Amino acid sequence: MKKIALAALATTAIATSMLAGPAYAKELKIGVSMALFDDNFLTVLRKGMESYAKETGVSLQVEDAKNEVGQQLNQIQNFIASGVDAIIINPVDTDATVSMSDDASAAGIPLIYVNRQPINLEMLPDNQAFVASNEADSGTLQTKEVCRLLGGKGKVVVMMGELSNQAAIQRTKDIHDVIATPECSGLEIVEEQTAEWSRTKGNDLMTNWLSAGLKFDAVISNNDEMAIGAIQALKAAGRPMDKVVVAGIDATADALAAMKAGDLDVTVFQDAAGQGKGAIDAAVKLAEGKDVDQKVWVPFKLVVPSNMNEFMN
């Protein structure tokens, strides 16, 4: 196991390496526990895994944890009891991954975390790995572009994801780190609250801010879903969209549609399908006793109106 190696995989490189769709000698059974099915980005991640599994002859058992830690832990125990060859987890709560790692390790079953960084990343056993995009880049790319669009000064509101989630914590930290730089120090965060990754809750939060008379020049959201909810509330309140900068992360299909309509100004592409393929490849290799890089980074890419057509598919 190469515990320290970081594999920076470009989207094109991932696609190239996987086009051939390698068939494995025997059908491997992999249990997959998703934090929840009812999420646009995670749906792309899940569908990417399912599609790639069919290409490669891998059998997937995919379960919905419905955003409940207890249910996800039960799913992992059930995977272990059924004798799967490997487990892939998109954690509900990244603080709960120590127990998940311990259970899989005790059973001798390889475990791959995908998309959400486990709290025990630096202490993973040799047969466990993490496939995702480096969140230190996501909020940084996003906020630097907002800073550029505002000319380095203005009032900003921040919509955070679930506070138990490492991505939400890191993306919010990225925002603060960019604003702390000299060129963006003219930005001021006037409100910062969680909308739990949800479009509906993003709408509700923005409605509350507007009702309170909050003044701001930009909305920086930890994901596209909350940004879209904010846009819906802004438009319902009659706020001209060319008078406010709205930024999200993930470059989902709905986000790109909002950008094409002139409502969303910034998003950051996170290769959900690439992460899913990378997770399956890592799981298969570990199940076959092969070495993998323990941290596999799939790069983020800034998406703005001038290059959005590159990401429409």
The lowest-confidence range among 25-29, 36-40, 60-64, 181-185 is: 25-29
Same fold, 2-133+272-298 and 135-269: yes
pLDDT digits (tens, 9 = 90+) for 2-15: 333 333 443 333 33
Average pLDDT, the chain: 91
Confidence of residue 16 (pLDDT cuts 50, 70, 90): very low
Confidence of residue 21 (pLDDT cuts 50, 70, 90): very low
Higher pLDDT, 273 or 16: 273
Buried b (16+ CB within 10 A) or exposed e, 72-99: bbebbeebbeeebbbbbbbbbbbebbee
105: its two tokens: 């390790």
Mean pLDDT of 95-107: 96
pLDDT digits (tens, 9 = 90+) for 219-252: 999 999 999 999 999 999 999 999 999 999 999 9
Higher pLDDT, 21 or 172: 172
The lowest-confidence range among 15-19, 158-162, 187-191, 291-295 is: 15-19
Judge whether residue 264 has pLDDT over 50: yes
Mean pLDDT of 269-295: 94
Q: What confidence score (pLDDT) does residue 297 get? A: 93
Q: What confidence score (pLDDT) does residue 8 get? A: 40
Specify the CATH superfamily of domain 2-133+272-298. Response regulator (3.40.50.2300)
Domain ranges of the chain: 2-133+272-298, 135-269
Q: What confidence score (pLDDT) does residue 241 get? A: 97
pLDDT digits (tens, 9 = 90+) for 60-79: 999 999 999 999 999 999 99
Q: What confidence score (pLDDT) does residue 165 get? A: 87
Judge whether residue 198 has pLDDT over 60: yes
Mean pLDDT of 109-129: 96
Q: What confidence score (pLDDT) does residue 26 get? A: 63
Mean pLDDT of 152-180: 96
Buried b (16+ CB within 10 A) or exposed e, 177-210: ebbeeeebeebebebeebbbbbbebbbebbbebb
Mean pLDDT of 179-189: 98
Mean pLDDT of 273-291: 95
Specify the CATH superfamily of domain 135-269. Response regulator (3.40.50.2300)
